Amino acid sequence: MADYRIDDLAGAAGTTARNVRVYQDRGLLPPPRREGRAAVYSDAHLVRLRVIINMLERGYAFAQIREMITAWESGRSLGDVLGLEEVVGASWAEEAPRAVSAAELAALFGDQLTPANLTRAAGLGLLERRGNRFVAPNPQLLEAGAELVALGVPLPEVLDLAEHLQHDVDHVAGLLVQVFRRHVLEPAATGAAELPYYTDVLQRLRPLVMSALHAAAARSAERVIPEVLGDRLIALLDDTGESGRAS
């Protein structure tokens, strides 16, 4: 579970520290725990903050949001009222953003950690600057990039790959969601039964999309990797065989 200072929490949720304080003052966001003089927030705060922002964007007033959150805290599922906390929580619980220092990034990427590469990584959303530190919204992508660099792939090419990968995955995920929307959401019943229905299908949609993308990626890897590396491996085996015969 990640810990956040207020600036890190606000950045991970796409808002400002001032707004975080406002939501606390209005009773929408629980207070942080204290470690000495420092205020420390958790993943639970991040999930709640995203729910608050989502509801505000939908046009709910502070009083309505507080009423719904109070109902949830009194024992009713917020899904019964709105169906957001559980859905958003499930979406973000697998991997929380992680704060990384400039020293950690330098240890991972060495002299390839240039200002230009940092700027591009930030532009792609792979890193977010927070004063003297950075936040990796998806630490797995950061670790994968570091592994590629360690294997000898130049960091600019890793960033090119990340950009293409995100574009392609967004496209495929968008196709899946469009099919889901056309055949599942649009024929849905309206009225009182609509909200529980949407809550249920949204909870099922994300793991379905993740499963489909994972399966497709695994199948492609099994097919493409041998095709790309096969000739090289055969050449290496031939060279090894010839060396053995020569000796």
Please provide residue 21's backbone torsions phi and psi, each rounded to the nearest 5 degrees: -65, -40
Of 118, 169, 172, nearest to 145 by C-alpha is 118
The residue extents of the domains of the chain are 6-92, 97-187, 190-247
pLDDT for position 153: 95
Strand-pair partners of 33 = 40
pLDDT for position 161: 94
* Number of other residues whose CB lies within 10 A of the CB of residue 18: 10
DSSP states of 93-139 as a string? SS---EEEEHHHHHHHHGGG--HHHHHHHHHTTS-EEETTEEEESSH
b/e for 139-168, b at 16 or more Cβ within 10 A?
A: bebbeebbebbeeeeebeebbeebeeeeee
Strand-pair partners of 34 = 39
Q: Which CATH number fits domain 6-92: 2.60.40.740, 3.30.70.890, 2.40.30.130, 1.10.1660.10?
A: 1.10.1660.10
- Residues in the chain predicted with pLDDT less than 50, given as ranges, are 77-78, 83-93, 190-192
CA distance 236 to 10: 52
> Which helix (H) or strand (E) segment is 41 a member of?
none
Give the N- to C-terminal CA distance of the chain in Å, as an integer.
58
pLDDT for position 191: 47
Of 31, 33, 32, 26, nearest to 67 by C-alpha is 26
Q: What is the pTM of this model?
A: 0.55
pLDDT for position 200: 67
pLDDT for position 107: 93
Give residue-wise pLDDT tens across range 177-233.
Answer: 788 778 877 765 544 455 566 666 766 777 777 788 888 888 887 777 666 665 666
The tokens describing 125, both together, are 């959303």
The tokens describing 188, both together, are 């849905």
pLDDT for position 6: 92
CA distance 48 to 92: 11
pLDDT for position 89: 44
pLDDT for position 85: 44
Q: Percentage of residues in the chain with pLDDT exceeding 70?
A: 72
Strand-pair partners of 101 = 133
